[in-house]
Structure 1
Amino acid sequence: MDVLIHVFVGLHIIGIAALLGGFFFQMKAMRADEARFVPGMLHGALTMLVTGMVLVGLNQAGDDPVNNVKIGIKLALLVVILGLVYVKRDEEKVPSSLFGTVGALTVANIFIAVLWT
């Protein structure tokens, strides 16, 4: 069971990397107000959602304690991120404030995962 959990943690990190990497890739364009959500950002957010749900299920099945408040907050942030990226994915230009919000929420989600024990 531990190996399976570690595999899904790795996949979860790959999803975070895709989402945050897409954000960093567009930061120069964001300054020129020409940023757009690249497909990798949507795929990364979806990967985070699916692997996160699997991780919660695996941890609960293995009788490991799960902090439901933490998971709920992380899920709420991810749903907002996913909603913004999904709705604006086909637009050529996304307002810098909206694009920055997705980056800030992603970083907040990372810090909640790492610092909230």
Structure 2
Amino acid sequence: MEILRYVFLVFHLFGFAAIMGGLFFQLRGKDPVTGSYMVSSTVVQLVTGAGLIWTRISLDLPVDTAKMWVKLGLDVLIAATAVTGMRNKQPWAFYGVGTFTAAAAVVAVAWT
């Protein structure tokens, strides 16, 4: 189970890197848009984040439930914004995905 927790953690970090890497790559262009890579990366973030919560509870490790609910809520918000941006090609959604992803990273690192 401990190995599964690390697998979830690594893929959660891969999802974050894919979102932010794609975001910075898109910023180089004239018209940044939310692409399918953002949607698939947010799904990875959402699934692996829920998996991390489940494995921590299964291993009887301490879980800060308030932090986990905030992180899970941000992951849902990121996914919804990415899907909206991909369907409607709205520029606000592109910047929203980046802002919410950065906020989720701050919550993950700074909230102790």
Same fold (TM over 0.5): yes
Superposed CA offset, 1:49-87 (max 9, x none): 101111101100110111111111111111111111112
Report the CA distance between 1:98 and its aligned residue.
3.1
Amino acid at match of 2:94: F
Superposed CA offset, 1:18-75 (max 9, x none): 111111111123xx4x211121111110001101111101100110111111111111
Q: Which runs of 5+ in 2 are unaligned?
A: none
Amino acid at match of 1:37: T
Q: How many positions carry a matched residue from both structures?
A: 112
Structure 2 residue aligned with 1:105, among 82, 86, 100? Answer: 100
Q: 42-51 or 1-10: which moved more?
A: 1-10
The correspondence of residues 1-117 of structure 1 with structure 2, limited to 5 A, is 1-29=1-29, 32=30, 34-91=31-88, 93-95=89-91, 97-117=92-112
Amino acid at match of 1:108: A
- Superposed CA RMSD: 1.4
Q: Normalized against structure 2, the TM-score is what?
A: 0.90
Q: Are the equivalent residues in 2 in contact too, given 1:18–1:43 (CA < 8 A)?
A: no
Q: Normalized against structure 1, the TM-score is what?
A: 0.87
Tell me which protein shows more helix as a share of its residues.
Answer: 2
Q: Which runs of 5+ in 1 are unaligned?
A: none
Report the CA distance between 1:106 and its aligned residue.
0.4
